[in-house]
Amino acid sequence: MKDQPKRIAVLTSGGDAPGMNAALRAVVRASVFYGAECYAVHQGYQGLIDNEFELMNARSVKNIINKGGTIIKSARCLEFRTPEGRKQAYENIKKSEIDALVVIGGDGSFTGAVIFNEEFEFPIIGIPGTIDNDIFGTSHTIGYDTALNTAVEAIDKIRDTASSHNRLFFVEVMGRDAGFIALNAGVGAGAEEILIPEEDLGLDRMLESLKKSRRTGKSSSIVVVAEGDKSGKNVYELAKYVEDNLPEYDVRVSILGHMQRGGSPSCFDRVLASRLGVKSVELLLDGKTNLMVGLKDNEVISSSISEAIKGGHSINQELLRVSDIMTT
């Protein structure tokens, strides 16, 4: 049995997500609790290549559980996609006598971690941190719940002006190629129509639904559009399409953008991040590797990180049906 890791490194990689700091805090404090040292790597994989390690103690992570973003910075590191970049990272890790790595990020970051492990047999555990919730093997990623609430609050505000002016608003939300934010924030904010990548409902159906809204006396409407929507039109083109086909509608567009990535994490995300952070350290100390921690039926679980990348995601059909019924 390999020796228990004595020095654990942790990094945040890819798009930042509210709750990443809470996960960092949990990894550091669990390491200290179990008698291991914990090194933060600044700027994600770039920090591994640039040798940016910082020894953390329990106080290093004070007062960050409520902070959005990541205090150790993140990056989308192209250099780590090269064998030379990963080799440099490994040499720096060896120089600092680091024994294991916790990667907080999304499927792109996990892909890098799996290749790194294959090349150097270096112990890694992944913590799913992305607002997109598009990772197989967990019901929730860190940051998703907060992003949902941010989107719903913004749409509620847009609803106020839409109803004041009897307007139709197209609201674009993030999610990359997944429709979780759009579908859940759409239902949560009472949107009349929701366009997601997983279901190409067709523009005619959208027009019919908007006509029906008017017939049933609705003077204002909200259409939530996932940025990865497959209608073949961007949100401005969708708005123009409706203006051309339903001239009775006064149409506006609002793109929520990066505000969905920020803000103080929700209680759900803080607790999720704390639980996953502790579990990731316990798995490493138990000699485990190549796993992703996650949530299933509110239980903390671990599953193959390779599967998490390959697994893809499926949209909740029941929720789609509910959103249909709710637009009655």
Footprint of ligand F6P (CB under 6 A):
15, 106, 130-132, 174-176, 227, 261
**Least distance CB 194 / ligand F6P (angstroms):** 16
Closer residue to ligand F6P in complex, CB, 76/233: 76
**Least distance CB 14 / ligand F6P (angstroms):** 6
Cα–Cα distance, 126 to 102 (Å, whole number): 6
Residue-wise over 5-33: b if at least 16 C-beta within 10 A, else e? bebbbbbbbbbbbbbbbbbbbbbbbbbbe
CB atoms within 10 A of CB 40: 23
Cα–Cα distance, 246 to 214 (Å, whole number): 11
Cα–Cα distance, 246 to 249 (Å, whole number): 6
Residue in 296, 44, 9 with CA at minimum distance from that of residue 124: 9
Residue 189 exposure: Cα atoms within 13 Å on the Cβ side: 32
**Least distance CB 39 / ligand F6P (angstroms):** 26
Cα–Cα distance, 87 to 282 (Å, whole number): 27
CA angle 315, 317, 323 (to 5 degrees): 105
Cα–Cα distance, 72 to 64 (Å, whole number): 11
Burial class (CB within 10 angstroms; exposed 0-12, middle 13-18, buried 19+) of 300: middle
Closer residue to ligand F6P in complex, CB, 159/261: 261
Closer residue to ligand F6P in complex, CB, 132/229: 132
**Least distance CB 288 / ligand F6P (angstroms):** 27
Closer residue to ligand F6P in complex, CB, 5/44: 44
Please pick, among 16, 99, 107, 132, the residue that the annotation labels catalytic: 132
Closer residue to ligand F6P in complex, CB, 106/186: 106
**Least distance CB 189 / ligand F6P (angstroms):** 18
132 flagged as catalytic: yes
Catalytic residues: 132
